[in-house]
Amino acid sequence: MPNNLVNYGVTDNGIAIIELISDTDGKPLSDDRTSVNTYTREMWEDIDQAILNARFDGDVSVILLTGHGEKFFSAGASINYLNTLSPRYKYFFCLHANETLSRLEQTPKLVIAALNGHTVGGGLEIAMAADIRIAHKGNFQIGLPEVSLGVLAGTGGTARLARLVGKARAMEIMVTGRKFSFEEARDMDLIHDIYDSVGLEDFRTDVLDYAGQFTLPLAAAKAIGNIKRSVQSGIEIPLEYHLALERELQSDLFQSEDAKEGIASYVERRTPRFKGK
């Protein structure tokens, strides 16, 4: 990516990997700095471009978000960077971040966040825009502690956390600013699973193996995309309109090559080979 704050690549089986990589100032990582993967405007530009690359790549079925290193998925916005910005600039900074995460949510491809370490503040806000969150077992913390800085979680934090864990629990988490374990996050369905992988490399491999089941030709990527569109958009509208949207998305699938292949493979008692069309 242009600013060297995101590593981007695509596996042979169609998984786009977006890896955040920066120091505490949100700058490209040097050998003597810990990778905490804080973000700045420049990192958001890289994230945005990576999302667009994955969206338009017909060979990509799954997007995997993760952080560089063994300690942090992301510590959120660089406080040192924010301290240099005017209030008006900060407003547009949050707007750009919100637009980028909305673009991720509206991309009809499955998004998995691999939480390789601490996931706090804006790091959790990024992770909550994913469809599935898988964490690496360890003494790591997760939470939205922005209230301790006199602000709120303004990159979708208040909106997405309330939708994921419920209003009452979200309020308690954000007004206290407390950080908690991955195990507690799993208990409240904030994350889906915790992998007891030996190290970072094994964790990445295990998550990629999990993600592989959603790639072509094993999975009907077009159907997965339509499921995501129905859930993401439909939950915000009245039930009758959601049902209408669901019918239209289903009608689209009925006419697809993948639906024909799925039915044919069932009748012929063979494994389907989907094309995403």
Taking only the tens place, the pLDDT of each residue in 150-170 is: 999 999 999 999 999 999 999
Among 146, 240, 248, 268, the one annotated catalytic:
146
Number of structural domains found in the chain = 2
Residues 84 and 168 reside in one and the same domain: yes
Does a structural domain hold residue 273?
no
Among 19, 42, 45, 125, the one annotated catalytic:
125
State if pTM tops 0.75: yes
- The domain that holds 254 is classified in CATH as 1.10.12
Range of the domain at 72: 6-212
Query: Is-catalytic flag, 99?
Result: no
Nearest partner of 131 among 95, 94, 160, 162, judged by Cα: 160
Residues 150 and 204 reside in one and the same domain: yes
What confidence tens digit (pLDDT) does each residue in 10-45 have?
Answer: 999 999 999 999 998 899 988 767 799 999 999 999
Q: Are 195 and 132 within 8 A, CB to CB?
A: no
pLDDT value for 32: 60
Query: Is-catalytic flag, 125?
Result: yes
How large is the average pLDDT for residues 88-97?
A: 97
Q: Are 112 and 62 within 8 A, CB to CB?
A: yes
How large is the average pLDDT for residues 129-141?
A: 98
Q: Are 226 and 253 within 8 A, CB to CB?
A: yes
pLDDT value for 188: 97
Does position 257 have pLDDT exceeding 80, yes or no? yes
